[in-house]
Copies of this chain bind each other. A is one copy, B any other.
Amino acid sequence: MKENKYDDAAFFAKYAGMHRSIYGLAGAAEWAALRAMLPDTAGKSVLDLGCGYGWHCRYFAESGASRVLGIDLSERMLAEARSRANPPAIEYRRAAMEELDFPAGSFDLVFSSLAFHYVRDFAPLVANIARWLKRGGALVCSMEHPVFTSSGPQDWDYAPDGTIRHFPVDRYFEEGEREAIFLGERVIKYHRTLTTIVGALFASGLRLTGLVEPQPPEDMLDLPGMRDEMRRPMMLLLSAKKA
């Protein structure tokens, strides 16, 4: 059974209070970098894996996509997504992304924001995505950075006075389950090396076209904790193309 922390009421309430949950794309520090990697989706079909509140689905629909299919494992997330004003091009569906199946060449863009680190078996999923894409189609995704996932707790190393000393990397080549603390709750994530992540794209025949570790934008540097994000890479954004 896939872990579905987002249907836990207490966890979901905390998630709802996050800056990015309140302000949407404008509240996500990586959005400008991620948007710059997206192809034009006017008239295109888009699959969003782990759509959450549906911010990106709405962005694609507003950008003229002819069809947007948003997938999420969490009923609460989908209820939240459906409660917003949604253009008719969007369909939301509850599913685990690992269990989806579509005919080959179904989508122009497969997109995923901060969901892949919950997936245990990455390579088979990427092989599926490569198959679901049309020729010339693209995968654009964000995930937690291997530096951020490697040691486990995803927390800084602190001096006795409580100031940050640095960010710890450990167990880097020991891939697999990590128990992280996110919003004060235990959450299972999966650590993979950069080699494995990028290797899955190569192995599925996709061509890597972009790799970006986003930095906080200037106008967000005064948000709590944001300046510390200059000290470590927390996210990895990738774009790839099906030739």
Interface residues of A (CB under 8 A from B): 147, 151, 157, 165-174, 193-195, 198-199, 202, 207-213, 215, 230-233
Contact = CB atoms under 8 A, between A and B. Distances in A.
Residue of A165, A171, A207, A213 most packed against chain B (CB within 10 A): A213
Contact of A194 (B171, B172, B233): B233
Nearest to A167: B169
A198 B211 CA distance: 7
Given A202-B210, A209-B202, A170 B167 contact: yes
Majority secondary structure of chain A interface residues (helix, strand, loop or mixed)? mixed
A54 to B, nearest CB: 28
A107 to B, nearest CB: 23
When all copies of this chain in the complex are counted, the total is 2
A166 B157 contact: yes
A151 B212 CA distance: 20
B195 A211 contact: yes
B207 A173 contact: no
B230 A173 contact: yes
A229 to B, nearest CB: 8
A167 to B, nearest CB: 5
Contacts of A195: 211-213
A172 B148 CA distance: 12
A174 B73 CA distance: 38
